[in-house]
Copies of this chain bind each other. A is one copy, B any other.
């Protein structure tokens, strides 16, 4: 169906590494979108000796960049006029459209950006449109969604699904290696987003499965701590979602959130929209949707997605946790 693409890099290893010595020392880097993820990437680049400019619509995010040694600029177009390589980390299609139109509007004479690394989780159609528009002004775009939370970057636990031009990727790979050594090359532009959707589809299910499992355990009179201790490390059913989210479910504490329900709802929509676009029945994923919707309805919007355990526990008649979101 699709050609198998051998990984360009799937090395594993811990944490950030200096890349200033790896041939990109003189490259000016811009980060557009300085939220939790973009801000973390900017800081990691600064910490490894790179010059970083950036922009965010939020003044406090620009201030944070300044505080950590970066150079905040007044707009996306100012970043594109300054940085050879731009990383985008954006929360919505509207933001991506705005950034792209401003970069395109800079004009070839002032435009300095040659490679744009799009790291957001956004619908593929919108990412394709962005790539085409940027190509017309000579920018090579890479589709490189990130799997992992900002906190976990320091543990070297991110995976970046790199897709697009191999030549462009080779050029900027040392930058991505500042964030993680796990940068599998997954093929043509867009495959990165597809792989991210595969990962998120499983995470969506595994998280509700963990919540259902621990609710079932409680209803049978088992100690949920013992259940998690037994199955979290199991070579058969153990996985990172069960271990990370399961610990919050056992404690019934969902703050601080590694992924807020309200943010995750955007990712759920992207998965569901893609499934519809490619005519794929996803009955298991579909049965998770009402559980996340219920979490929103029950005041858990800013709680971690592990809080779906409260939805199922509530359905099961288990008394509400004393302090379920913090």
Q: A residues near B, CB below 8 A?
A: 1-5, 10, 147-148, 157, 159, 184, 186-187, 191, 194-195, 197-199, 201-203, 205-206, 208-209, 212-213, 215-227, 230-231, 234-242, 274-275, 278-288, 290-291, 312, 315-317
Contacts and interface: CB of A to CB of B under 8 A. Distances in A.
B216 A212 contact: no
- Pick the most buried of A5, A208, A226: most chain B CB atoms within 10 A of its CB: A226
Contacts of A227: 195, 198
Contacts of A240: 234-238
A194 B218 CA distance: 11
Given A5-B223, A198-B231, 8 more contacts: A4-B225, A4-B226, A159-B234, A203-B237, A219-B278, A220-B280, A238-B240, A281-B316
A130 to B, nearest CB: 19
A209 B212 contact: no
8 contacts: A1-B224, A5-B223, A159-B236, A194-B217, A202-B231, A205-B212, A206-B206, A283-B291
Contacts of A236: 147-148, 157, 159, 199, 203, 239-241
A213 B239 CA distance: 16
B316 A279 contact: yes
A197 B221 CA distance: 13
A206 B203 contact: no
Contact of A284 (B147, B198, B201, B284): B284
A220 B205 contact: no
Given A236-B241, A239-B238, A198 B216 contact: yes
